[in-house]
């Protein structure tokens, strides 16, 4: 299993050329791919601010994409939420929760985010 961050998820769906070779291979070979529920929130937020254009209303796009791909959504649990606040190396609360999700599951996070990759908080692929 791997967890992918928001950009990786979006690029996997619509702009695979933006993925590194390592990220692309990780996605192709993973037995399970998951996203944090925070990723769905980020996508909806970006769409509402018109910083992301989707082919359908965000909820419909997300649900159809998940159904088509089989990507799992990991809920924000009490433990993940609380542990995310301990990740002070990351300023973005969304990043904190996504990293906390991968840490909770004990799996790598596929991300291009340099701050996350340099933090050493979680194994990353890029």
Write out the two tokens for 115.
């701050």
Q: What is the mean pLDDT of each run of 10 residues along the chain (126 residues)?
A: 98 96 98 98 97 96 97 98 97 97 98 98 98
Domain count, the chain: 1
d(CA 6, CA 102) in angstroms, rounded, equals: 13
Write out the two tokens for 46.
């970006």
The pTM assigned to this predicted structure is 0.95
Write out the two tokens for 124.
């990353």
* CA neighbor of 96 nearest in space, from 119, 74, 66: 119
> Are the CB atoms for 116 and 90 separated by under 8 Å?
yes
Find the domain containing 75 and state its range. Answer: 2-125
> Are the CB atoms for 9 and 46 separated by under 8 Å?
no
Q: Residue 21's domain is classified under what CATH number?
A: 3.40.50.1010
């Amino acid at each position: 299993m791997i967890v992918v961050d928001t950009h990786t998820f979006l690029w996997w769906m619509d702009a695979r050329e933006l993925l590194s070779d390592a990220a692309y291979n990780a996605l192709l070979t993973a037995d399970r791919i998951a996203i944090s529920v925070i990723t769905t929130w980020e996508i909806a937020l970006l769409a509402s601010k018109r910083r992301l254009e989707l082919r359908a209303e965000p909820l419909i796009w997300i649900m159809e994409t998940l159904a088509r791909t089989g990507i799992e959504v990991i809920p924000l649990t009490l433990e993940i939420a609380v542990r995310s606040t301990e990740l002070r190396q990351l300023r973005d609360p969304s990043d904190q929760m996504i990293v906390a999700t991968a840490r909770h599951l004990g799996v790598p996070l596929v991300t291009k985010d340099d701050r996350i990759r340099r933090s050493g908080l979680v194994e990353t692929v890029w």
